Homo-oligomer: A and B are copies of this chain.
Amino acid sequence: MADAKLDTQVRREQIAEAALSLVASQGLRRLSVAAVARRVGLVPSGIYRHFKNKDEILDAVLDRVELRLLANVQASRQAHADPLACLKDVVMRHIRFLREGKVISVPRMIFSEDTHGDHPERKRRILGVFSKYMEQIGEVVQLGQQQGRIRPELEVQAITMMLFGIIVPAGILWHLTDGGFDVTRHAQRGWKMLLSAIEPPVPSKTRKK
């Protein structure tokens, strides 16, 4: 069935990518070893040549999700020197990837009990991913506060959570409506409202985004 034998490094890559892709499009419930195998072009038992079990595959998927989430924040930071522009970009970038099916929304990972139903340590793992993500965003917020672009009296965590509160419902509605919900508009509106809450009353610059 397989075209040829491939090195385990290559197969692992294929398998992890196939799994991530399947999860993004169909959710974790539908992720079966058989589905992954089909996608890669192997028979199901062939998967076990490269991954010890399904849990290992899920771990690999999680690694990828983490990389992508953090890469998103990094990309935004590099594209925008201005903290506010950067934060907005984090949101919009996430939305774009959501639309393109290139990222699994965090809640989807969290509440898919297939991910960590019987594995408390994976729950911790997810919490870790989330924490890192929030931390990265928090650094941008802090920068903004130091530069007078963001109200200094607001707590960093509160701001990052509000940002998260824009991203998450987007994923939820996108998922619920099978892509029918206008997540871009939602994000723009949400950002605008958040901005009015976090921007200092006296604009430190005439720039009004």
Interface segment among A45-53, A76-84, A106-114, A136-144: the answer is: A106-114
Residues of B within 8 A of A114 (CB): 29, 113
Q: Is the CB of A30 within 8 A of B198?
A: no
Q: Is the CB of A110 within 8 A of B175?
A: yes
Interface centre among A106, A113, A158 (most CB of B within 10 A): A113
Residues of B within 8 A of A190 (CB): 158, 161-162, 165
Residues of B within 8 A of A111 (CB): 107-108, 110-112, 172, 175
Q: Does A166 touch B at the CB level, under 8 Å? A: yes
Q: Does A126 touch B at the CB level, under 8 Å? A: yes
Please, which residue of chain B has its CB at the minimum distance from the CB of A198?
B193
A127 to B181, CA, bound (A): 11
- The A contact surface, by secondary structure, is helix
Residues of B within 8 A of A186 (CB): 158, 161
- How far in angstroms is the closest Cβ of chain B from A116? 9
Could you say how many copies of this chain the assembly holds? 2
Q: Is the CB of B113 within 8 A of A30?
A: yes
Residues of B within 8 A of A154 (CB): 193
- How far in angstroms is the closest Cβ of chain B from A200? 12
Q: Does A27 touch B at the CB level, under 8 Å? A: yes
28 A-B pairs (CB sep. < 8 Å): A29-B114, A29-B117, A30-B113, A30-B117, A107-B111, A110-B111, A110-B172, A110-B176, A111-B175, A112-B112, A113-B114, A126-B176, A130-B176, A158-B186, A158-B189, A158-B190, A158-B193, A161-B169, A162-B166, A165-B166, A165-B168, A165-B169, A168-B168, A168-B169, A194-B197, A196-B196, A196-B197, A197-B197
Known: A29-B114, A168-B168, A193-B194. 6 other contacts (CB 8 A): A27-B117, A29-B117, A111-B111, A127-B176, A162-B190, A162-B193
Closest 7 CB pairs of A and B: A165-B165, A29-B113, A111-B111, A158-B189, A197-B197, A193-B197, A29-B117
